Amino acid sequence: MSAAIPLTEARDLRTGRVPWRESDWRSPPASPLPATDVDIAILGSGIMGSVLAERLARGGRTVALCDRRPPATGSTAASTAQIMWAMDVPLISLAREVGEEEAAIRWRRVFAAVERFGTHLDGLDASLKTDGPTVYLAGGLLDSSGLEAEAGLHRQHGLPSEFLPAAAVAERFGIAPRAGIVSTGTYAIDPVRTCHALLARAQAHGCTLSYPVDIVALHPSTRGVELETAEGHRFTAKDVILATGYERARLFLPPAFSLLSTYVIATRPGVAPLWAEDAMIWEANDPYLYVRSCSEGRIIAGGEDVDFSQAETRDDLLEAKAGKIAARLAATLGCEQIDWDCAWTATFGSSPDGLPAIGPVQSMEHVWIAAGFGGNGIAFAALAAELLETALAGNRDRDARCFDPYRFRD
């Protein structure tokens, strides 16, 4: 008899040193597994799981959160946490695939979710986020004229963007001349600190947080879904949300949602600012360079993505990729050289349209996917919380179809 397929993959999600000071992380206290049935069980206590748990518990549901590792120590800890509403696939490109109005519906909904999530974080703890514009620079996907058309489409559909020619970008932001789109309504966060703050609020609303706990099987039940741990313990939830990030639930997540690897560097503290307005910078390239600063004055830059996720092969490239990112960063900023203090590599996910997988699974009732695949995982967590809260209440969200996990059908 062949071995059973694991419920989720087990991966080495990141390697290297991140600038978030791991020694300062104080994980929320762990709870025993629920002794009675709960409304919702969430698998995964990274940023996706924490955003979902906080919102659903705040709404009065009984929530149990489970993870095989301490909260926020997987992919969340590797995130550069640039919260943007623009997608990796430009709006003008998505419009060619699905039609302009359909593409705009998707972008406007992500924009609204990012805006509402930012307001919520301000109410939770204003120090969790730093507001700043994004600058999307011309590259191989969109040249100057392409960016101008893209910005025009943004404005046409109510998205706050303006096109600047190369000289204007250089003058305003103090970087090398390059045409760009400047967008507002964006911000950066410390991903681990924010995740822990959301979990603390969820616990205050009665959410249980159990780790390390490995859920290995889901069993249909007359009361919903019975969850089984590796040790054979069981409990039941009316509904289960798979928020396991890049450790995919392969039985449920379609293969169109694939895994890649990315590379990131951070300078020592006090180097930033080297440009104006605390802007987050990225490029119309594939793969693209992405840059921001943090409250310690570090410059954080990533890119040089590769389309595989095998940890050993990924890790072997770290030093060379860090050097390439530093060189690209120096050219973008108009500097002679950028030295880095931290470098790391991590797994992340992508999708054909740059959008996430959010919705019910096809093969088991009362099971849902919240997979933030694409370049904006934290933005997609905010979106998933809105969509799934509505669906779990038995209501219809007219935009839910846009993010259906099974939308890429032959």
Render 237-281 in DSSP notation, one character per residue: EEEEEE--TTS--TTTS-TTSEEEEEEEEEPPTT---SSSTT-EE
Residues of the chain with pLDDT under 70: 1-5, 410
Measure the CA–CA gap between 197 and 191, rounded to whole angstroms: 10
**pLDDT 10s digits, 44-70:** 999 999 999 999 999 999 999 999 999
Same domain flag for 332 and 289: yes
- Residue 19 domain-assigned? no
pLDDT for the residue 1:
33
pLDDT for the residue 2:
41
pLDDT for the residue 410:
57
- Residue 244 domain-assigned? yes
- Residue 14 domain-assigned? no
pLDDT for the residue 21:
73
Query: For residues 245 and 372, is the Cβ–Cβ distance under 8 A?
Result: yes
Residue-range definition of the domain harbouring residue 98: 1-9+27-130+188-257+354-410
Same domain flag for 178 and 288: yes
pLDDT for the residue 27:
85
**Domain containing 167 — which CATH number?**
3.30.9.10
Same domain flag for 139 and 121: no
- Residue 373 domain-assigned? yes
Same domain flag for 114 and 206: yes
Q: How many domains does the chain have?
A: 2
User: By C-alpha distance, which of 303, 409, 384, 395 is closest to 116?
Assistant: 384
| CB proximity list for 127: less than 8 A, separation 6 or greater | none
Which of 350, 369, 385 is the last residue in one of the domains? Answer: 350
**Cα 155 versus chain centre, distance:** 25
pLDDT for the residue 41:
98
